[in-house]
């Protein structure tokens, strides 16, 4: 920030604290305020009334915030035109997403970082057993130049490469399929979100948490933020498969779909 103010008289920061997914990410509204105060810079804060995320469907993002951060339990009256759909079978959803791609839609699969990453798209790291047939997919490619081709998605093979949180931030698509794993579950007994770091395969993320003095609430919020990002990448439709039936029922009840 110091170098920015050496080059400009006014700096505009578009900040969303709920896209923070690592403890090491220090760009928060409060940190910007503290910097301004320490350097004698006037700081004004404004909230956006509408946003481009999720196809200008700000009410959907607001509903997610109530679901996640307000621990909303009663059904919300959804006003968003974004289609939300729950699927019982991953392979059925996969076929549907491929049909959307064939119709000219910009489509992507997304999942939390709950499977090891071999960095080889020939290896199907994501393996989920189902009674109707196992679901197997590789992660998205690692080289940056290949990631761009994956994002554009001109070849159907790129749809079969699942994106994670690190290839979700800042991107938008027409339609997305999201795997909701049991690293984040709703507990009906305590009416709160519970996380399970043993399900997380992002070693850098987990190591940083275990070596930190972060509160449990802060850690839970990082996982909530991750799912918030994954669920807001689509402009037209979000298709969700849930590992945990209790979580599925709760989310469907609150978001009314």
d(CA 221, CA 201): 18
Per DSSP, the chain holds a count of helices (H) and strands (E) of 9, 8
- Compute φ and ψ for 6, nearest 5 degrees: -75, -20
Report the chain's C-alpha Rg in angstroms.
Answer: 19
- Residue 62 · residue 80 · CB < 8 Å: no
Nearest to 186 by CA among 118, 254, 115: 254
> pLDDT tens across 183-201, in order?
999 999 999 999 999 999 9
d(CA 243, CA 106): 25
20 pLDDT band, cuts 50/70/90, is confident
Give me 232's structure tokens.
């807001």
d(CA 61, CA 89): 26
d(CA 157, CA 68): 33
The secondary structure of 54-113 as a DSSP string is: HHH-HHHHHHHHHHHTS---SPP------EEEEES-HHHHHHHHHHHHHTT--EEEE--S
> pLDDT tens across 205-235, in order?
999 999 999 999 999 999 999 999 999 999 9
d(CA 152, CA 132): 31
> pLDDT tens across 65-84, in order?
999 999 999 999 988 889 99
27 pLDDT band, cuts 50/70/90, is confident
Q: What percent of the residues of the chain are helix, what percent strand, and what percent coil, each to the nearest 5?
A: 40, 15, 45
- Residue 128 · residue 75 · CB < 8 Å: no
What is the model's pLDDT at position 125? 98
Res 53 pLDDT > 60: no
HEC string of 14-37? Answer: CCCHHHCCCCCCCCCHHHHHHHHH
């Amino acid at each position: 920030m110091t170098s920015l103010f050496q080059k400009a008289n006014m700096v505009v920061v578009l900040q969303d604290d709920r896209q923070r997914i690592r403890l090491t990410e220090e760009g928060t509204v409060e940190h910007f305020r503290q910097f301004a105060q320490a350097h004698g810079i006037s700081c004004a804060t404004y909230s956006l009334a509408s946003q481009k995320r999720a196809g200008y469907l700000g009410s959907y993002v607001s509903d997610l915030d109530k679901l996640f951060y307000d621990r909303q339990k009663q059904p919300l009256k959804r006003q968003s035109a974004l289609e939300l759909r729950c699927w019982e079978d991953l392979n059925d959803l996969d076929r549907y997403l491929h049909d959307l791609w064939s119709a000219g839609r910009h489509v992507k699969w997304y999942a939390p970082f709950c499977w090891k990453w071999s960095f080889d798209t020939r290896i199907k790291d994501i393996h989920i057993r189902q009674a109707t047939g196992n679901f197997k997919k590789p992660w998205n490619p690692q080289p940056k130049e290949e990631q761009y081709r994956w994002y554009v998605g001109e070849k159907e093979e790129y749809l079969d490469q699942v994106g994670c949180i690190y290839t979700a931030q800042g991107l938008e698509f027409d339609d997305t399929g999201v795997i909701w794993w049991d690293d984040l579950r709703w507990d009906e007994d305590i009416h709160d979100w519970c996380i399970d770091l043993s399900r997380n395969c992002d070693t850098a993320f987990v190591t940083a948490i275990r070596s930190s003095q972060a509160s449990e609430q802060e850690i839970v919020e990082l996982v909530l933020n991750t799912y918030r990002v994954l669920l807001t990448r689509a402009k037209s439709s979000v298709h969700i498969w849930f590992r945990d039936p209790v979580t599925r029922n709760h989310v469907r009840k609150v978001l009314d779909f």
